[in-house]
Amino acid sequence: MNTGHPASWYAATANAFPALSALATDTRTDVCVIGAGYTGLGATLELATRGVRVTVLEAAQVGSGGSGRNGGQVHTGQRNDQAWLEKTVGRDDALGLWRMSQDARAHLLALIATHQIACDFTPGMIHARHRKGGEAQDAAHIAFLRKRYGYDQLAMIDAPDLAAELGTEVYHGGFIDHGGGHLHPLNLALGLARAAMSAGAVIHEQTRATAWRREGGAIVVETPTGRVTCDQLILTGDGYLDGLAGGAAMARVMPINNFILATEPLGARADTIIRSNAAVADSRFVVSYFRKSPDGRLIFGGGENYSPGFPSDLKAFVRRHMLKVYPDLADVKVDYAWGGTLGITVHRAPYVRQLAPGVRVAAGYSGQGVMLAPWFGKLLADAALGDPSGVDLLAKLPTPPFPGGRLLRWPLTVAGLSWYALRDRI
C-alpha cells in the first residue's frame, strides 16, 4: 500500500506543492479519476483543459506511487517490441501502436513545454549489453525499426566507446536511442497536477476509493469520508491497483517492487561517468538502470523483490548492484535509497479495458510508464468524451491471467521470475 512519498532524492528535491485536502462531503462531478500518478493526472489534465468537471481521489499524495519513485527513464516505443507486436496483433495494429508511442513522446514533451514543468528532461538513452554476443541482434533491431518504421534515432556503440562513455568496462557494447531520455519523475507528476488544478480539476489527497457501483444512470464512488457521483470513472493504480478494478484486473496485473539509490554528489568524478549525460539501462532480466542527477549524483536502480514489503537495508541492497557496474564507487556514500511498486503483466503489455459502461482502467505498464502513462491517461479521457479508438486499440493487446489465478500467482510467478533473475548471474 502507498503511504506517501518515501525519503527519496526526488522528495528532497521536489518543486513546491501544497498539501491537498481530503474529500470531506458528498460531491457530484462529470468524471471521477482514481489515482494521482501519470495516468490519472494525464487524464485529468486533458479533461479539465476541455472544460470537463473532474474530481481526483488519491489514497496518499500526488505522485507518491510509481510516478514519483521511478528511474525517470524515458523509453521509446511500447513496452513490447515491434516485432512481437506484429506477430501478436498484425502489421496494421502494430503500426498503430508504434504511432501511438511516438504521439506519447511528443505529448510528454509538449506537456513539459506548455506547462513549464521544471523536471530536467535530458535526451539520450543507452541500452548496454551485460553479456558477450547479442551485437547482431541489436544491429538487426536497429535496421528493423529504421526500415519498417522509419525510426532513425538508434546508433550502435562498440565496447571500447561504451566503456569510455560510461566510465566502466563491464558492458560489451550496446546502442543509443537519441529519442529517449530521462527526467525528474516526481516533478513531472507535480507539474501535471498543478496544470490540471489550474485548468479547474479538483484533487483530493488522503482519500482512498473503496468501492464503486452503477446507480440509476450514474456511477457512485465510495470513500470513508464521502461519496462522489459521476458519469464516467477512470481507474488507475498500476502496482498500487487494489481490488477496485475487480478480480480480472487483479489476476492480470501483478505488483512487484523495484529499488533505487542516489549517491552523494560525486564532484569531479561525475565527469567520468556517462559523459553524454544520457540514461542507461542494461540487458539483464532484472534491469540495472542509472543516470546522473543535475547535482552530480549517480542515481542507480537495481534489484527487485516479489513479496509484500521491502528489504530492511535498502542502501546495502541496491549498492550491491551498483558495485557490479561501478566497483570504483565502493568508497562513495549512499545518501538515499527507496523502493516503489509497479504493475507487470504476463506479456508485459499494459492492461487497458472497459470494465463496465463508463468505467475504464489502465495499468500494468511493466516498467515503462514515464513516457506512455500520461498519454494513456489522455486516451482514457478521449474515451470518456466519446472517442474510444485509442483505448480500443490497446485493448487488443493480450493480457492473460498469471498462472495460478489470484491466490497462487505469487508463488508460481515468483518461482518463474526468480529463475530468470538467477540467469542474470550465470
Ligand X SMILES: Cc1cc2nc3c(=O)[nH]c(=O)nc-3n(C[C@H](O)[C@H](O)[C@H](O)COP(=O)(O)OP(=O)(O)OC[C@H]3O[C@@H](n4cnc5c(N)ncnc54)[C@H](O)[C@@H]3O)c2cc1C
Please report how close the Cβ of residue 90 comes to ligand X at its closest, in angstroms: 26
- Residue whose CB is less far from ligand X, 39 or 82: 39
Interface with ligand X in residues 263-282 (CB under 6 A): none
Q: How far apart are CA 162 and CA 167, in angstroms?
A: 8
Interface with ligand X in residues 145-174 (CB under 6 A): none
The answer to whether the CB of 340 falls within 8 A of the CB of 65 is yes
Q: Does 175 bind ligand X (CB under 6 A)?
A: no
Q: DSSP class of residue 230?
A: E
How many chain residues are in contact with ligand X, going by CB under 6 A?
46
The region of 53-61, 80-88, 126-134, 352-360 touching ligand X under the rule CB under 6 A is: 53-61
Task: Out of 174, 303, 369, 390, name the contact with ligand X by CB under 6 A.
Answer: 369
- Residue whose CB is less far from ligand X, 175 or 290: 290
CA dihedral 134, 137, 142, 148 (to 10 degrees): -170
- Residue whose CB is less far from ligand X, 36 or 273: 36
CA dihedral 157, 178, 318, 324 (to 10 degrees): 10
- Residue whose CB is less far from ligand X, 90 or 368: 368
| Residue of this chain nearest to ligand X (CB atom) | 369
Q: Does 101 bind ligand X (CB under 6 A)?
A: no
The answer to whether the CB of 44 falls within 8 A of the CB of 189 is no
The region of 35-43, 134-142, 166-174, 411-419 touching ligand X under the rule CB under 6 A is: 35-43
Residues 6+ apart with CB under 8 A from 48: 54, 196, 199, 200, 201
Q: Does 78 bind ligand X (CB under 6 A)?
A: no
Helix, strand or coil for residue 127? strand
Give the strand order in the sheet containing 226-230.
Answer: 27-28, 226-230, 218-223, 211-215
DSSP string, 75-120: --S-SS-HHHHHHHH-HHHHHHHHHHHHHHHHHHHHHHHHTT--S-
Question: Residue 169's CB: how many other CB atoms inside 10 A?
Answer: 12
The region of 8-16, 61-69, 326-334, 416-424 touching ligand X under the rule CB under 6 A is: 61-69
Q: Which residues bind ligand X (CB under 6 A)?
A: 2, 34-40, 57-60, 64-67, 69-73, 75, 208-209, 236-240, 242, 244, 258, 260, 289, 301, 340-342, 363, 365, 367-371, 373
